[in-house]
Structure 1
Amino acid sequence: MTTTLDVNGITLGIESFGADDAPLVLLAGGTTMLSWPDALCERLAAGGRRAVRYDLRDSGKSTTTDPQAPAYTLRDLAADAAALAGALGGGPAHLAGTGVGGMVAQVAVLDHPGAFSALTLAGTRAVAPGPPDDDLPGHDQATMGRLFARPMPDWADREAVAEFAAEGAKGLGDDPVAAYERAARVWDRTPGTEPEVQMANQLGMVFSRLDCTPRWREWLPAIEVPTLVVHGRRNRFFPVGNGEAIAREIPGARLLILEEAATAIPEVAVGEVAEAMLTLG
């Protein structure tokens, strides 16, 4: 069921799978909720959880203001996650974040520890957008060069946007068919065809403009909830060393490396990831 919920002074688009009274797994989009595969949400629900995926601000059905100049911070997004978990009820939630949503999730658990009972971090890193720490691998520069050399599509043209996403997925090592379908769905859910709004939804570029201070990596050892770190071996955007570093620095964290995956969780890995998340809590 897709709807919206007003929390923390804004509106968030959410979609719920499973019984309303089941233990909550809250899935932060990266940036839209469709970053989390339908099949994974369905597996979590079949495992006795209420899986709720949601759009970050300036994406999907959530509050959209000015993606070119967001008037909120990473810590505001973290507060959104805590407020949403509280509004959905049922006690502390298992919080999961993918990509930039994984950054939100790390800060949310650090800033609001009482709101969460477990943490899953998929394809993310422990520092904000921009140059990584010296000991962390940065984006694969050859891949980034090819991706950003492409001309932008006509953001008002659904087919052109979906084809652009499929081509980008090939460059990143992801499934172009799945990327095409997801981009078309994202386009359909985007409020308007203004280029900056469509770009924010498709590429998450708004995140690069956020104030992400202060740093949080040094505080990862303070995380006390059970943690699962999922990372694709072939991830060229956030290379696997980023996930390995997070798993080392959060006490007791389990590292699940998906050997055939890149940035997205592929269909073939959904069962493995869901099982690991269900085991976590």
Structure 2
Amino acid sequence: MTTEKLFKVNGVELWAETFGDAADPAVLLIHGASASMLWWETAFCAKLAARGRYVIRYDQRDTGRSTTYPVGEPPYAMSDLAADAIGLLDALGVERAHVVAQSMSGGTGLHLGVDHASRVASLTFVSTTTGDDELPPPSDDFPRFSTPDFGDSAAVEEYVVRAIEAESAGVFDEAAARVLVRSDIARATNFEASLTNHYAMKFDGPQGGGFGELTMPVLVVHGSRDPVFPLAHGQALRDAVPGGKLVVIEGAGHGIPEPLWEPFLAALVEQTDAR
């Protein structure tokens, strides 16, 4: 069963959708910067739920239908986004969840794992980084895009589609990307804020330490061809976590596209066995 609902959490409104049976192990999916819950595709969530998981996806602040703020003026920090995730679990009656955090939201996952460890059954980092200065920069051929005219919806769509293509490292379905982007634009309260505000928030760190303080099982999933955070970032993240495990998705770029879902789903199912 699938349901989408508005939750009032920490003084903000968050839209969330659940898949599967609430009696199954809960998996909280947190996508990266600017991405609404639609970026955890419905078919992916349904496949994970069909394997015995209670799947939760949601719009973080400044994405989708959730609370949004003036462009360039987000009054929150990454720790607030982590507190939102805990508030959402509270609202759903979930005591502990397996957290899956992608790209920039790896920082949110770190906050959850360190400062809210009792609520995190396991932690999976997807296409993310420790942020260490000595790690390699984005690929030399990764394009730099000019900010689009937000008054021109076609230009905005093209901007995001081309960004998806650049991150895909060759595994790219343009028709599917356009459907996603159009749906996201149509659904967003303020799409310009969605593309802007996560980069302008305060990036604070957990109060209780860093990656070395994580005590729950930690899985790192990384594409072999990630042009944003080359594979060395995933390897460094694995090494930074006590007992960390790395699964490399061959052929994947920054994120895991549908043709490569199967090894990702298999890894998640193994990681999120009831604990």
1:276 and 1:2 map into 2 onto residues whose CA distance is 26
Aligned residue number for residue 130 of structure 1: none
- Aligned-partner residue type, residue 134 of structure 1: D
Counterpart mapping for 1:50-65 below 5 A: 50-65=54-69
Residue 176 of structure 1 and its aligned partner are, at CA, apart by 4.6
Q: What do residues 10-32 of structure 1 show as CA deviations (whole Å, max 9, x unaligned)?
A: 11111111123322101112231
* Alignment TM-score, normalising by the size of structure 2: 0.88
Aligned residue number for residue 85 of structure 2: 81
Residue 99 of structure 1 and its aligned partner are, at CA, apart by 1.4
Q: What do residues 164-216 of structure 1 show as CA deviations (whole Å, max 9, x unaligned)?
A: 2222233332515232221111101111xxxxx32333x4x322212113478
1:272 and 1:39 map into 2 onto residues whose CA distance is 15
- Aligned-partner residue type, residue 10 of structure 1: V
Assess if the C-alpha contact under 8 Å between 2:69 and 2:193 holds in 1.
no
Aligned residue number for residue 135 of structure 1: 134
2:149 and 2:102 map into 1 onto residues whose CA distance is 27
Q: Give the number of equivalent residue pairs.
A: 265
Equivalent of 1:252, from 240, 243, 254?
243
Counterpart mapping for 1:23-172 below 5 A: 23-30=25-32, 31-127=35-131, 133-143=132-142, 146-148=143-145, 150=146, 152-172=147-167
Q: What do residues 7-65 of structure 1 show as CA deviations (whole Å, max 9, x unaligned)?
A: 12211111111123322101112231122222321121001111011111111111112
Q: What do residues 211-244 of structure 1 show as CA deviations (whole Å, max 9, x unaligned)?
A: 1134789621211111111111111112221111
- Aligned-partner residue type, residue 165 of structure 2: K
* Alignment TM-score, normalising by the size of structure 1: 0.87
Percent identity at matched positions? Answer: 33
Aligned residue number for residue 6 of structure 1: 8
- Aligned-partner residue type, residue 275 of structure 1: A
Equivalent of 1:224, from 206, 215, 228?
215
Which sits farther off after the overlay, 160-169 or 108-117? Answer: 160-169
Residue 125 of structure 1 and its aligned partner are, at CA, apart by 1.4
- Compared CA separation, residues 91 and 214, structure 1 to 2 (3 A): closer
- Compared CA separation, residues 86 and 215, structure 1 to 2 (3 A): closer
Runs of 5+ unmatched residues, structure 2: none
Please provide the CA RMSD for this pair: 2.1
1:180 and 1:248 map into 2 onto residues whose CA distance is 37
Runs of 5+ unmatched residues, structure 1: 128-132, 192-196
